[in-house]
Amino acid sequence: MDTMDKFYHIVTYGCQMNVHESEKIAGILSGLGYIACDKMEQADVVVFNTCCIRENAENHAYGNIGMLKKLKAAKRDMIIAVGGCLTQQINKADSLHEKFPYVDIIFGTHNLNKLKEYIIEKRGRKKPIIEIEQCDGSVFEGDVPLRTSYPNAWVNITYGCNNFCTYCIVPYVRGRERSRKSENILAEVGKLVAEGYKEITLLGQNVNSYGNGGADIPFYELLERVANIDGNFRVRFMTSHPKDFSEELAKVIGRNKKICNCLHLPVQSGSDSILSAMNRRYTARDYLNKVEILRKHVPDCAITTDIIVGFPGETEEDFKATLELVNKVDFASAFTFVYSKREGTKAALMPNQIPEDVSKRRIMELVDLVNEHTRSHSARFVGQTVEVLCEGYDDKRSLYLGRSEHGRMVYFDSIDDKKGQFVNVKINEANGISLIGEITEE
């Protein structure tokens, strides 16, 4: 190792969108000559890519940034930068600076592309750089991400959100919805496929409303054009808002082999009055109708969802309606959350905030039910042969691992390295959300 080498370390909080944003940050840092390292102690630049969607993600970041105080005192040249949507909340950058005066750079989601300048500038001065910009409606196209997830690659298609679900901070911190031009998206996917990436996931807060803010074609058409690119690869996309999910999209999924037969369709609640208070703009019946349409065109579609319990005013009856909906849809898996009050959102001002003990009991009951469905979905694969895209080797289990089309993690043994290859695996055992099997020639 060259002792002159300089290292970076990125800590990411939140969703896949943030993971991909961290790849863009990594691209900027490697462009400046820094090399990735696993340990914060070794790093010359540490970047926290934060998330504020729920309070626990926010607190997690505070805890980690706080822990760096000692290290920074011992290693004065180290640059600490904090970015991501946390910094974008009203007055948050200033309060972050007050709380953690040793942080060198505080930047927002709309000026990520300036991080390079900030780091160069910071090397030559003592004073911290605090710069948060508001969304100007543009889409920055100059990112060269340093991808860390081969054979999978993420591609942004939209940024921001216009939906203003009453519990959600995203529209405030990520700005209004902007769509990338389809030609830029198709060119990026084409390049990734040519480079050997085998799974492309199109990303947006609400991919179904692709087209807002300047795009030329609707989402279902974009998706089909992506699937028509030559090459052996899979396509996934997230997230879909049920109100915008259309039959055309279901048909496109059904008729294109490359598009995985799975859909993440966050329902949030099964109660109409809660859905209305959340400003979701659909009823439980509307949601079930969409599921029916989807299953008509994609019979084996694995549907996954997000559910929140403890939204202000949620009665026992409302909660029961959510459990009922979970049973009706039979989700392949679900992310479950306790409602987290976010300052600045409409729901934060609503009366009847639910006591913690009630929310805790509800989430436990919900998780038990969701797990039952997850296990039964997994069990259905036993005896079947599924196509798996191998993502790597799991040292703990001493097995290769990858995902099936339906999004299930599959473990299997192999003599040679299968990373980046599609393999057929006969499933022998189901274990909660994951499956275990053996390679077959089928």
Binding residues for ligand SF4, rule CB under 6 A, total 10
168 belongs to the binding site for ligand 5AD (CB under 6 A) = yes
Q: Binds 241, which of ligand SF4, ligand 5AD, none (CB < 5 to 8 A, cut-off by type)? A: ligand SF4
Buried residues in 60-75 as b, exposed as e (16+ CB within 10 A): bbeeebeebeeebeee
Q: Which is nearer to ligand SF4, 78 or 161 (CB)?
A: 161
Q: How many CB atoms lie within 10 A of CB 211?
A: 18
306 belongs to the binding site for ligand 5AD (CB under 6 A) = yes
Q: Which of 278, 308, 363, 423 contacts ligand 5AD by CB under 6 A?
A: 308
The residues in 342-361 that bind ligand 5AD, with binding defined as CB under 6 A, are 342
226 belongs to the binding site for ligand SF4 (CB under 6 A) = no
> Smallest gap, in angstroms, from Cβ of residue 271 to ligand 5AD?
15
The residues in 37-76 that bind ligand 5AD, with binding defined as CB under 6 A, are 53-54
> Smallest gap, in angstroms, from Cβ of residue 45 to ligand 5AD?
29
Q: Which is nearer to ligand 5AD, 181 or 373 (CB)?
A: 373
52 belongs to the binding site for ligand SF4 (CB under 6 A) = no
Q: Kindly tell me the burial class for residue 91, based on how many C-beta atoms sit within 10 Å of its own C-beta (0-12, 13-18, 19 or more).
A: exposed
Q: Binds 339, which of ligand 5AD, ligand SF4, none (CB < 5 to 8 A, cut-off by type)? A: ligand 5AD
363 belongs to the binding site for ligand 5AD (CB under 6 A) = no
- Single out the segment in contact with ligand SF4 by CB under 6 A; choices: 83-91, 161-169, 225-233, 402-410: 161-169
Q: Which is nearer to ligand 5AD, 196 or 344 (CB)?
A: 344
170 belongs to the binding site for ligand SF4 (CB under 6 A) = yes
Q: Which is nearer to ligand 5AD, 227 or 265 (CB)?
A: 265
Alpha carbon distance 301, 245 (integer Å) = 15
The residues in 239-268 that bind ligand SF4, with binding defined as CB under 6 A, are 241
206 belongs to the binding site for ligand SF4 (CB under 6 A) = yes
Q: Which is nearer to ligand 5AD, 16 or 421 (CB)?
A: 16
Q: Which of 205, 322, 359, 404 contacts ligand SF4 by CB under 6 A?
A: 205
165 belongs to the binding site for ligand SF4 (CB under 6 A) = yes
- Single out the segment in contact with ligand 5AD by CB under 6 A; choices: 102-110, 153-161, 279-287, 339-347: 339-347
83 within 8 A of 112, measured Cβ to Cβ: yes
334 belongs to the binding site for ligand 5AD (CB under 6 A) = no
Peptide bond into 109 cis (omega under 30): no
| Residues lying near ligand 5AD in the complex (CB under 6 A) | 53-54, 167-168, 266, 268, 306, 308, 337, 339-340, 342
| Residues lying near ligand SF4 in the complex (CB under 6 A) | 161, 163-165, 168, 170-171, 205-206, 241
